[in-house]
Structure 1
């Protein structure tokens, strides 16, 4: 909620209180703090790390906790010098500050000048946003945001009275929101996802995550959510949800697709920033307030992060996660995981080095593609791939046969000497006259 602050001061959304949270928005977007501003704010503030009990936090707010601190002790560098009597340990009444701790990275000399300090991970943000959208559409009890608490929030905020909990035959029931699917609509949506066929290598088997009986779409991997969010959701939801819901989901999908492009234009990123602000405001008008988790809010900062860090392929977590899977697979002794991973890494490097001296040894860098099959190594017909169904015989007509013959003659390296010999004979006959394009094609 609260994304109207990023709109221009004259935008009509700012005055539409009933469609949003019941208030008129007069605020402006917060100004990002620089590294020097942050260090100035945390300078001189003592932080005590670790968890505290709920009772201690309440007593701390009421000023009931007393701490004895020896004179001259350094709380920031030596926590053992803090002397506390009773169970009220690890508490200190700090001055009012926005910060919970001082980052260890601030000790680096260049940190105050670093513009990309947070490096928000697009992979996890996209997955959490996709899970939020899918779970709410399917109205899952765990993960869905349209529940009794969300309806009570709307009632407390005095907005969207048509979604407030109502009484029927002495029992409470929740009216269905436009952001959730009915039972029949869920069947259609999940059936489309389950029966979807995609090109080989495009995505994993997403149909394994579909449970038609329980109306669930669970156990999605990060890349599954990536494909679902950017490509499949706008298609699978077409004709299933209302147009306004489909419109905001399509805009959200387009945002991630343009953000994850291989090349980015700074001017397009500025337009993308404006687009995502409007999209988030439109989502506020449709989905309940509980839908907007912190991950959903981080979307608004991604275009600026992309302007500072470049294309997301260079700073998201996909390559790191894949590399960590390989390291975890090399662990053999769970009693000593670090040493076992180090030994496995050394063995892997040694085997890779030695395999380069054996031409007949199959290594990961010389292994044929999995779709190679038993295709013979011919230039023309070695197009890769494998059969996925029975072979069909087709008889070509005279025109198609001539086109196929011409294609083979003009695109085969083995026939190029004969073509060159033919051209030389034509030049000898015509006395060195320039050969026309038509003669070369013959």
Structure 2
């Protein structure tokens, strides 16, 4: 497959007062010409791959997990018919779910299977369900409350989760703010320093996976300075947590004298971070500019688009164009796909809403090759495309489907959830 690196070229730059102005060529994400519609799923995939629609019209399907026997658990953002978790079972072996059952009367995003339990999160709590030897939730089993009382203030409230191999679970608590302004998303409002949000949000918390009724006080504030992480996964090769951060919005709307609408459309980058205990990624004091390849001081804290932020904040391991909304991260450990995919990262980009006057972008799954637990280079490629339904729907943002969650099946296929129409796709390699 041809590698596709998406960049925006700066073709003119000039300084006028304190403002930096530039013209940018529009980003055109749909550039991998080797992708073709593989089957009636409508997805465009590399040669040798196909996709099957496992289920459709489920509701807002967020994250998902697949059992050792190929059944699929799906977390719904909002309960449908009183059920927030669905289990999809294929009775006749055709790959499609013909038996769908549900439980859990709460919405949310997080979903994982580990050590005989199904883990699921609401916007405030994390639960686990005991599984039998087929990895089915034991009939009548009540959920155990692992973590309770996490902050949810109707902005970046989803509590995405992943687990390591040492008995710990990691939970995102997104910041209920764009950039920690005194007046959120208001023109010219400056940032609060220190940012009071960071004591209970804007980071990752670590808890014990087998301990009940944990709270902020009994957990570990594992990493900070992360505005919102929806996609995260444990890298088995590197034995480390990796996360995808949603970058801040509205640079031009809030500081029109410092940023043009074109800059605001492409900045800041969406970033992948490799996280260790105690790390600080810098939000809300800085953002990462993929064009300058620098950590830039936020305008709310005296930045002008050029001043650099603190060197103490960690740098991303790879950066992507702005406002694509990375909602799913999966490190591939299977053997079905060609060898180059082994241990690499798949990322589901939910798609943008705020790239005007540039075309909206995203609505695809990309692949990042890894070597020795880190990206092999700064190059990445579109792997699965056309979730939106076509280029015009992508440009306008009126997408038919929006990829959200990723999971690996026991045969090495990968599953993708769509939280627009509630479609579940299974992508397999056929050669």
Q: TM-score, normalised by structure 1?
A: 0.21
* Structure of larger gyration radius: 1
Q: Which has more strand, going by share of residues?
A: 2
Q: Which has more helix, going by share of residues?
A: 1
Q: TM-score, normalised by structure 2?
A: 0.21
